[in-house]
Amino acid sequence: MFDLIIRNANLPDGRQGLDIGLAGGRIAAIEKSIAATAGEEIDASGRLVSPPFCDPHFHMDATLSLGMPRMNVSGTLLEGIGLWGELRPLLTKEALVERALRYCDLAVSQGLLYIRSHVDTSDPRLVTAEALLEVKEKVAPYINLQLVAFPQDGYYRAPDGIASLERALDMGVDIVGGIPHFERTMEDGARSVEALCRVAADRGLPVDMHCDETDDPMSRHIETLAAQTVRFGLQGRVAGSHLTSMHSMDNYYVSKLIPLMAEAEINVIPNPLINIMLQGRHDTYPKRRGMTRVRELMAAGLNVSFGHDCVMDPWYSMGSGDMLEVAHMAIHVAQMAGIEDKHKIFDAITVNSAKTMGLEGYGLEVGCKADLIVLQAADVIEALRLKANRLFVIKSGKVISRTAPRISELFLGGRPASIDIGSDYVPSAPGR
């Protein structure tokens, strides 16, 4: 009756010791002890089973290009954009596909099965869009990949910005992007937001803009984005990525802005690893963190999800396709280390991201898709602390990746012979 049963699982919401039965690509049962047997069984042994991770903000055309053609010396966003501009004319479709597929292999091993990637449309050759549309089809059996038409060099500022973005959408790219803070003037930025929201409304597509990725407290394109979202009736279908200027904005102004964003049901996508690395670069000390106001936005009821943004590319030399690493950084930068806080942070890389991406059948309830991960951690709190090992990654009821548990042998005479890095030493305090 079942294709696969996971025994003795702990769930992200705190339920413990449950069996999960998968059949026909869906979750068919979640019960204390499923009497039936299945072709394959996994003993979770009281470990956390979660829906897979979702990354709502990535750049798959740039990933794994570190060092091509050179390294980013200043470490700034602007040098990164310049460096990408040097690399772009050298890109070939074959090399783009090969790098993206290699990243997707890594993503699967990390339990990351849903990715929204921006695709740079600035080069009118559009090899980036061609390549990632091919990748999207190739990885569809194991990764749900959404693509955003992203005018990296500016919708108005790049010579072919407008036409190239339209052509990418004609080719089948799913979402309308933008970068208002990189247009030549604040006015051009605001006009680009309006024009791109109109394109999305006309084509019936969602919007996901790089918005206010700057330390400038006067960069206020998110206000325009919220207003145009309401004007064009796009509520709930628009994402504001980064929003780092909100970190530096005047508090009174933010008290007006956040309700406007809530009215427009803006999906907020901070990118903690990249924000902490790139923002505040022009500061001496004190040095701003630069990430947007996560706690306040969540408290106002906005849907906040975290993106990985970059892995080994012109902007970020680090990264490992690990959304728990992203969440771990978010806990630190947002200073959200309480028990409730950590649950909210875990939601931001799972259910909130799924909402941002509009995923159907995502979750851990009967009837949801049989896409699950088993982690080497007892619960959400431990998974975040340890960036826990992904023991099993399951897609449509089938194991597509497996990693051996991390158990260290000890040779200490009089001390235990081994230690499970998750559970063997922790205090019993709640929310340990």
Shortest CB 417 distance to Zn ion, Å = 46
**Would you say 312 and 318 are in contact if contact means Cβ atoms under 8 Å apart?**
yes
For Zn ion, which is the closer residue by CB, 49 or 179? Answer: 179
Instruction: Write out the binding residues for Zn ion, residues 106-135 only, by CB under 5 A.
Output: none
Question: Total binding residues for Zn ion by CB under 5 A?
Answer: 1
Shortest CB 213 distance to Zn ion, Å = 7
Calpha distance 384→327 (Å, rounded):
7
Q: What distance lies between CA 341 and its chain's CA centroid? A: 18
Instruction: Write out the binding residues for Zn ion, residues 252-311 only, by CB under 5 A.
Output: 309
Calpha distance 377→432 (Å, rounded):
12
Shortest CB 310 distance to Zn ion, Å = 7
For Zn ion, which is the closer residue by CB, 50 or 63? Answer: 63
Longest dimension (CA), the chain: 72
**247 Cβ contact partners less than 8 Å away, ≥ 6 residues apart:** 215, 279, 288, 289, 290, 291, 292, 293
For Zn ion, which is the closer residue by CB, 174 or 341? Answer: 174
Catalytic residue among 213, 223, 325, 382: 213
Is 360 designated active site?
no
For Zn ion, which is the closer residue by CB, 19 or 215? Answer: 215
For Zn ion, which is the closer residue by CB, 123 or 341? Answer: 123
Shortest CB 196 distance to Zn ion, Å = 16
The residue with its CB nearest to Zn ion is 309
Instruction: Write out the binding residues for Zn ion, residues 304-343 only, by CB under 5 A.
Output: 309
Calpha distance 322→328 (Å, rounded):
10
Cα distance between the two ends of the chain: 38
Query: Which amino acid, residue 377?
Result: A
Structure-token pair, residue 292? 């947007």
Phi/psi for 240 (5° steps) reads: -110, 110
Phi/psi for 30 (5° steps) reads: -130, 105
Shortest CB 259 distance to Zn ion, Å = 26
Catalytic residues: 213
Name the site residues for Zn ion (rule: CB under 5 A).
309
